[in-house]
Amino acid sequence: DKLLDDGEAKPFNSRGPNKCETTGVYYKSMDCYFRDLVSPHKDVEGYCRKALRMKQPGSNEGGDHSLVSCAAEPNDATISLAEYGPIYPCTALAVYRILESLHATDRRFDKTTITIINRSEVLGIPLATMLSNQGATVYSVDINSILQFLPDGKIRREPATTTVETCVRQSSAVVSGVPSTEFLVPTEWISDNTTVVNVATESNFDEETIYNVPGVTYVP
């Protein structure tokens, strides 16, 4: 087995069940070129972008898919991503499961609009991709731009006239993971019955007023 897909790496000795094969890859580099060379079969961090284009966990398409690490026996040499589904970054997957339990119908997010204020490789990008693959319209917000992830797999840049407030007010779920104590989503932007998920160390929402929104579900 090879660590990378394109032959740029030599065989890698590991401490796995078969000491001549690589059983997983853990790495800290966020370099896009290197990250996408890693085989999705061995990317235990879930950062390879090839996996994001595959079936979602729990998708109705072809059965109930779950994580490779959970679904396969330790010595199963026939593990197939097509059979079990890819591995996703754990933070993004956890938020996906929260939203799925509250908003999905038959594990789909059709006619659901969600705003994610974060576009990192760990949270924002994989979460937006998973949700849009399951039918949601997702506004992906970072400091420089707002992108819209569409259910058909397309991504488009929003015009400069589109603001974070516009996106939040249109959304039935808002996820924020901005690592700043100074960033706060104004409570008056949150619509009734919205699910609000904070993924930042310090809350991006005003916890003293957020519960004043009728029907709000706040996940701190």
Residues annotated as catalytic are 90
What is the distance between the alpha carbons of residues 53 and 141, in angstroms, rounded to a whole number? 21
What is the distance between the alpha carbons of residues 117 and 195, in angstroms, rounded to a whole number? 14
Task: Name beta bridge partners: 2.
Answer: 11
Between helices 90-103 and 124-133, what is the axis angle to 10°? 40
Cα distances (angstroms) measured from residue 213 to each of 146, 177, 193, 206, 220? 25, 20, 8, 11, 15
What is the distance between the alpha carbons of residues 126 and 51, in angstroms, rounded to a whole number? 9
Taking every pair of C-alpha atoms in the chain, what is the biggest distance, in angstroms?
Answer: 59
